[in-house]
Structure 1
């Protein structure tokens, strides 16, 4: 009988469904072959070594590629982190980290990204690119500047909330009407990234939604910011869980502004 139970348990493990949101960690070592002629392009990376946003990634990648096209820039979309090497990065002006999660870069690949930013390359990081699955010191300090602490769950997982533009004259916020009431998954952080040198562009009004007591940040609840300390232009937006958001004209304009600004 014990042997039978052991066999049944083993079969249950084999047949257990794999959660597509947690595909497992992979390390890329062979760089992709880039299309001929890419120069001053937009590199769109949705590599997932943490939570995978299967709901929005296919659609948001297409929207980001369309934005690049409308800006007159070639784009390349990949989930192969081996593209982070000096030679291939030199063909791009900006890297968009589209909910790239987990420590998706090897130390060598992260060093190549750091050199890219030090040369003046831009980074646009979106949603899960700023969650707490990122632990590398350079990435946390340069790209995010804060530690993700959670978001509402259950019935409050997706809510409308009031986003207020703090710096309306910044190029990323050009043409954005404030306040704006999008629906999304609202991230909270361990503190205001402004205390770590970031410049806040937009923040949440916590009175406009239900964050839950443990996730309250107070009057200053940033959701979009830039890093003015780096030579390359770095922008982060905590928004982006819902695929519908990428069709919102306001968010699409913010993404367009951000890519244009980061790419100089």
Structure 2
């Protein structure tokens, strides 16, 4: 090593000794866990696009994100590590009893963090031999899934609660190009804070799968202590080309994680 280079090395070493935080990884602002079922079927492209987008957002904003593929790891100790739980692509069934109990406490007591649920989180009913989880139905406003638009439809979403932090910067309306638009047995409105609805008259192509006017697609259950938001959209990867969807997702992360 040349003398000049050695001197510089020594100066850097001395500086780091007096400033021990240098060279150490910065403590993350918060920790996120996201759940997406293994394989994912037709939803796999959405999950892949979400993971890419989330990693970039996490890097830029100094938070960490871990992924799980089922509810087996979930218990009180596990959830206590995270300030945000994202139900990215996982239905409200096939949960272990331990996971159910821990999640209920996480949401009802609000001691750990917040929750964002997408799309499949309202697939409420009897599926694959599993009964409906009544608590989760209540959490989602007391609704039950009825049917959906299997061949997708373009539609206009109307922002109803523009003052809500998750809706900051969104236009009063925005379009979603391809979505399944679930129909429920009733509107969750009496039991939740509706943030946005879909205009069923804007379906293109038109569909008979309608709720008759009041069709919430983004809402929050303010009876729970944990900050929470459900976002129906979450099937097609092109959502990550939609500026409004990305703004909504980004806002929801920082609001639900309380950062």
Alignment TM class, shorter chain as reference: 0.7 to 0.9
Structure-1 separation of matches of 2:29 and 2:256: 15
Listed as ranges, the gaps of 5+ residues in structure 2 are 1-26
User: Which of 228, 233, 238 pairs up with 2:232?
Assistant: 238
Give the structure 2 partner of residue 100 of structure 1.
Answer: 90
> Residue 146 in 1 paired to residue 140 in 2?
no
> Residue 124 in 1 paired to residue 130 in 2?
no
Give 1:102 shift: 5.3
Structure-2 separation of matches of 1:204 and 1:243: 19
User: RMSD between aligned alpha carbons?
Assistant: 2.3
User: Which of 43, 61, 70 pairs up with 1:53?
Assistant: 43
Alignment of 1:1-264 (within 5 A): 40-47=30-37, 53-101=43-91, 103-120=93-110, 121-132=113-124, 133=127, 135-143=132-140, 145-153=142-150, 157-185=151-179, 186-195=181-190, 197-209=191-203, 210=205, 212-213=207-208, 215-264=209-258
Q: Do 1:164 and 1:178's aligned partners in 2 also have CA atoms closer than 8 Å?
A: yes
Give 1:48 shift: 5.7
Give 1:174 shift: 0.3
Q: Do 1:205 and 1:221's aligned partners in 2 also have CA atoms closer than 8 Å?
A: yes
Structure-2 separation of matches of 1:262 and 1:220: 25
Alpha carbons of structure 1 residues 164 and 172: separation in structure 2 relative to 1, 3 Å: same
SS in 2 for 1:212: coil
Structure-2 separation of matches of 1:52 and 1:101: 14
Listed as ranges, the gaps of 5+ residues in structure 1 are 1-36
Give 1:51 shift: 6.7
- The count of aligned residue pairs is 223
Give 1:149 shift: 1.7
SS in 1 for 2:98: helix
TM-score normalised according to structure 2 size: 0.78
Structure-2 separation of matches of 1:236 and 1:144: 11
SS in 2 for 1:43: strand
Alpha carbons of structure 1 residues 230 and 102: separation in structure 2 relative to 1, 3 Å: closer
Alpha carbons of structure 1 residues 162 and 41: separation in structure 2 relative to 1, 3 Å: same
TM-score normalised according to structure 1 size: 0.77
Structure with max Cα Rg:
2
Give 1:79 shift: 0.7
Q: Do 2:109 and 2:224's aligned partners in 1 also have CA atoms closer than 8 Å?
A: no
Give 1:58 shift: 1.9
- After the TM superposition, which segments of 4 or more aligned residues of structure 1 sit over 6 Å from their partners? none
